[in-house]
Amino acid sequence: MNSGARASEGATEALPGPDGELPGESAGLTPELRDRLLYYAWRAPSPHNAQGWCIKVDGLRFRVSRDPARQVLGEFDPGSREGDLACGAVVTNLCVGARAFGFDAEVRWRPVGGVAAEVTLLPAPAPPDEAATRRLRALRRRAMNRSPYRSEAVAGSVIDELQATAGRLGFTLSVLTDRAVIDQAAAIAARASAMKLMHGPTAAELYSLTRFTGRDAAQHRDGLDLELFFTPAVAARIAAVAMHPRVLAGLAPLGMARGMAEMIARDADQAPLRSAPALCLLHASSLEDETFLRAGACFEEIALDVTEAGLAMALHSAPIEVGLSHPGAPHPSVPGDWHASIAEVRRELLAAFGAAPQAVPIAFFRLGSPTREPERRSLRRRPDEPRPETAHYREMTRRNQPSLSRNEQGALRAVRILVAGCGSIGGATVVPLVRLGAERFVLCEPGDYELNNLNRQAADMGDIGRNKAEVQADRARAINPQAEMLVEPDGVTEDNVDWLVGTTDVVLDGVDVTEPAGITAKRALHDEAWRQRRLVISGLDLGGTQLVYAFDYRDGRTRPLNGRLDGVPPGTGALEFLSRLVDPLDVPRELLTYTEAMIRGEAGSAPQLAPTADQFGVLAAWMVLDFAAGRPVRRRVKVAIPDLVMPRGRRLANETARMAQLARVKFLLESTRRRARAQAQAGTETPRPSARDGS
Cα angle: 63, vertex 69, 71; to 5 degrees: 85
Say how many CA atoms lie within 13 Å of 157 toward its Cβ: 1
Instruction: Give phi and psi for 105, each to the nearest 5.
Output: -130, 125
Sheet strands (E) in 414-544 = 416-420, 440-444, 484-488, 506-509, 535-542
Q: Are 573 and 689 in contact (CB under 8 A)?
A: yes
Computed over its alpha carbons, how large is the radius of gyration of the chain?
Answer: 28
The reported pLDDT for the residue numbered 9 is: 32
* DSSP 8-state class, residue 388: P
Alpha-carbon distance values, 211 to 12, 217, 219, 226 (Å): 18, 5, 10, 6
Secondary structure (DSSP) of 238-255? HHHHHT-HHHHHHHGGGT
The reported pLDDT for the residue numbered 1 is: 35
Please tell me the distance from the alpha carbon of residue 81 to that of residue 74, in angstroms, as a whole number: 10
Q: Does domain 3-140 have CATH number 3.40.109.30?
A: yes
Cα angle: 675, vertex 677, 679; to 5 degrees: 70
Q: Which helix (H) or strand (E) holds 315?
A: strand 312-315
Please tell me the distance from the alpha carbon of residue 484 to that of residue 78, in angstroms, as a whole number: 39
CATH 3.40.109.30 in the chain, residues? 3-140
* DSSP 8-state class, residue 63: E
Secondary structure (DSSP) of 87-108? HHHHHHHHHHHHHHTTEEEEEE
Say how many CA atoms lie within 13 Å of 559 toward its Cβ: 7
Positive/negative CA dihedral, 550, 556, 562, 567: positive
The reported pLDDT for the residue numbered 661 is: 85
Q: Indicate the pTM of the whole model.
A: 0.90
What proportion of the chain, given as a percentage, has pLDDT over 90? 77
Q: Are 414 and 386 in contact (CB under 8 A)?
A: yes
Q: Which fold has domain 401-681?
A: Rossmann fold (3.40.50)
Q: Are 473 and 383 in contact (CB under 8 A)?
A: no
Alpha-carbon distance values, 539 to 5, 292, 343, 609, 669 (Å): 49, 49, 61, 13, 24
**How many of the other CB atoms lie within 10 Å of CB of 259?**
12
Task: Give the residue ranges of the chain where pLDDT is below 50.
Answer: 1-24, 686, 688-695
Q: Are 285 and 360 in contact (CB under 8 A)?
A: yes
- Strand 416-420 versus strand 506-509 pairing type: parallel
CATH 3.40.50.720 in the chain, residues? 401-681
